[in-house]
Amino acid sequence: MLTQRKSRRQLKNSGDVLMVFLSFLTAAFLAKRHAGQPAAFLGLSGWELALLLFFCLAWNYGARALDLYDELRNRSFRSEVILLGENILLQVLIAVVVLFLAKSRVHSRYFLFVYYILLLASVFAWRALLSVELTRRQRQGRSLSRVLVVGDGPLALSFAATVEANGHLGYRLAGFVAPQPTPQMGERYLGPLAQLDDLLGAGRADEIIIALTRANGAEIGRVIAVCGSYPVQVRVVPEYSSFMGARFRVSRFGPFPLFSVRAVPLEQGHLRLLKRAFDLLVALLAFLLVFSWLWPLLALLIKATSPGPVFFRQERWGEKNKRFLCYKFRSMVADSRDVDENGRYRQARRDDPRVTRLGGFLRRSNLDELPQFINVLRGDMSLVGPRPHPTPMNLEATELIRNYQWRHLVKPGITGWAQVNGFRGETSDPEMLRLRVQADIWYIENWSFALDLKILWLSAWAMFKWDPDVY
């Protein structure tokens, strides 16, 4: 199964890069003609060759960041088209930045427009033709792999159901071999384990999936020994897979396979680099274009309406529980206290006397969070991630909410998946806090660059709305 998936990934990747190559050649040729310069379809300068290589690498980098070639994640052609569109949009952003910095006259807006129209059309056409061809071959019984499941418990039945639900991937369920048949198997039950040898000898399967419940190593070893006499691939579904999250990961340490219960995409260095580079780019542009005039204005308003400092600093917990000072525009009176007489953290509430009149506006519009771009530049925070909580709140929530500390596997963010889904403001209700943590963990497990862009867009839109739930 893995070999077939790998072959499809390589075929799709090679075809996509070929479309990038052809679209670039055509767009460069037309751009030169448009600029009145001598042009040849294959006549690229050294700068153009370097730019083409960069575009090809950028495509592969974006595809990896978006899991574009993950066969089991893309369950339909429609979802694949959406991911292709997201990767092409990412290429547009990258190209705009590169050509702006290079100040190329020939490769201008005309070149970009033609290039990405051609890329959009050619990649979608190529993928549509590939999908039609693969479907045709599967209907003819070609490019199909027959999967025989060894097992009779819920694990075996669940795996078989997954195979049948993903027929577009080119796998067909050959049947079950199990100690005892079950009603769910019906006619798909082919016999007990003793008949496995005969079934393989008759060529009834291409791949064997061992999904035995409560099996010991010796029993699995006997099944593998029988399969060793036939040209079939053998794979084992571990019984403890039920304890794994939806996005677990398999890796290797020396000779030992390792199963990560929960996948954290941002553990991968290239994805962390992509996220960090984007954070720095957006933060620097914000300081140059917006904060240079907005911050002095807000500072004057804060000073004019309430005595005390402009900024509020508070210790919060970041990645791996690293403590840092989080910056905000002050929205409360200067002598307000964060903890009550019992030492419990005091969250802002409706009609909280500590919140100033201007502070209420700053909090509802999220403008009080803007100084956290300083934390982004310093590397304490990211633009998007779980919201950092003050130290007292962290200590309380760790005892109250299961898996709360998983929020600290990545850098905290100025905004996050929980916030754009309505889990913001006061969280004195344990259930509301649990839902916020659940949303944060989902973000960590399902991170993608496209998801960050979506959250930033939703957050920007929310700034123009008046949120009555934020105090």
Q: Are residues 394 and 456 in the same domain?
A: yes
What pLDDT score does 471 carry? Answer: 47
Can you give the pLDDT at residue 281? 92
How far is the C-alpha of 275 from the C-alpha of 65, rounded, in Å?
10
Residue, of 290 and 469, whose pLDDT is higher: 290
Q: Give CA separation, 158 vs 61, 75, 164, 165, 237, in Å.
A: 34, 17, 10, 11, 11
Q: Residue 297: what pLDDT?
A: 93
Residue 257 lies in a domain: no
- The residues that bridge with 210 in the sheet, in sequence order, are 150, 236
pLDDT at 73: 43
Answer whether residue 248 is part of any domain.
Answer: no
Residues 184 and 302 placed together within one structural domain of the fold = no
Whether residue 260 lies inside any domain: the answer is no
In this structure, the answer to whether residues 135 and 182 fall within a common structural domain is no
Question: Roughly how many angstroms between the first and final C-alpha of the chain, as a whole number?
Answer: 53
Confidence band of 220 (pLDDT split at 50, 70, 90): confident
Q: Evaluate whether 435 touches 429 at the Cβ level (below 8 Å).
A: no
pLDDT tier, 5 (very low <50, low <70, confident <90, very high otherwise): low
CA distance 383 to 375: 10
- In this model, does residue 466 exceed pLDDT 60? no
330 with 435, same domain: the answer is: yes
Instruction: Answer whether residue 293 is part of any domain.
Output: yes
Q: What is the pLDDT of residue 72?
A: 47
CA 466 to chain centre: 29
pTM for this predicted structure:
0.62
Output the pLDDT for position 51: 82
What percent of the chain is predicted at pLDDT more than 70?
Answer: 82
Mean pLDDT of all residues belonging to the chain? 81
Q: How far apart are CA 243 and CA 256, in angstroms?
A: 19
**253 within domain boundaries:** no
**Residues 280, 419 share a domain:** yes
CATH number, position 203: 3.40.50.720
CA gap 57, 14 in Å, rounded:
12
Over residues 44-73, mean pLDDT: 76
Per-residue model confidence (pLDDT) at position 32: 78
Lowest mean pLDDT among 201-205, 216-220, 364-368: 216-220
Q: pLDDT tens-digit profile of 348-398?
A: 666 666 778 887 788 878 888 999 999 999 999 999 999 998 888 888 888
| pLDDT above 80 (res 407) | yes
Confidence at residue 1, expressed as pLDDT on a 0 to 100 scale: 46
Q: Kind of pairing, strands 249-253 and 256-260?
A: antiparallel
Is-contact 466 361, C-beta < 8 A?
no
Which of 55-64, 86-95, 280-289, 397-406 is modeled with the greatest confidence?
A: 280-289
For residue 143, is pLDDT > 70? no
The predicted model gives 231-256 an average pLDDT of 74
- Looking at the 3D structure of the chain, how many domains does it have? 3
Asked whether residue 414 is domain-assigned, the answer is yes
Task: Note whether residue 284 is domain-resident.
Answer: yes
197 and 341 fall within a common domain:
no
Higher pLDDT among residues 66 and 207, named by residue: 207
Whether the per-residue pLDDT at 74 is higher than 60: the answer is: no
Same domain, 377 and 344: yes
Residue 211 lies in domain = 145-243
pLDDT of residue 221: 87
Query: What's residue 370's pLDDT?
Result: 92
User: Which pLDDT does position 49 carry in this prediction?
Assistant: 84
Name, of 4-18, 45-59, 103-117, 342-356, the range with top average pLDDT: 45-59
In this structure, the answer to whether residues 52 and 27 fall within a common structural domain is yes
- Which of 22-36, 326-340, 447-461 has the least mean pLDDT? 326-340
Q: Tens digits of per-residue pLDDT, 269-283?
A: 888 998 999 999 999
Q: How many CB atoms lie within 10 A of CB 431?
A: 8
Domain identity same for 342 and 451: yes
388 and 357 both lie in a single domain: yes
Q: Is the pLDDT of residue 47 over 60?
A: yes
Instruction: Mark whether 122 and 157 lie in a shared domain.
Output: no
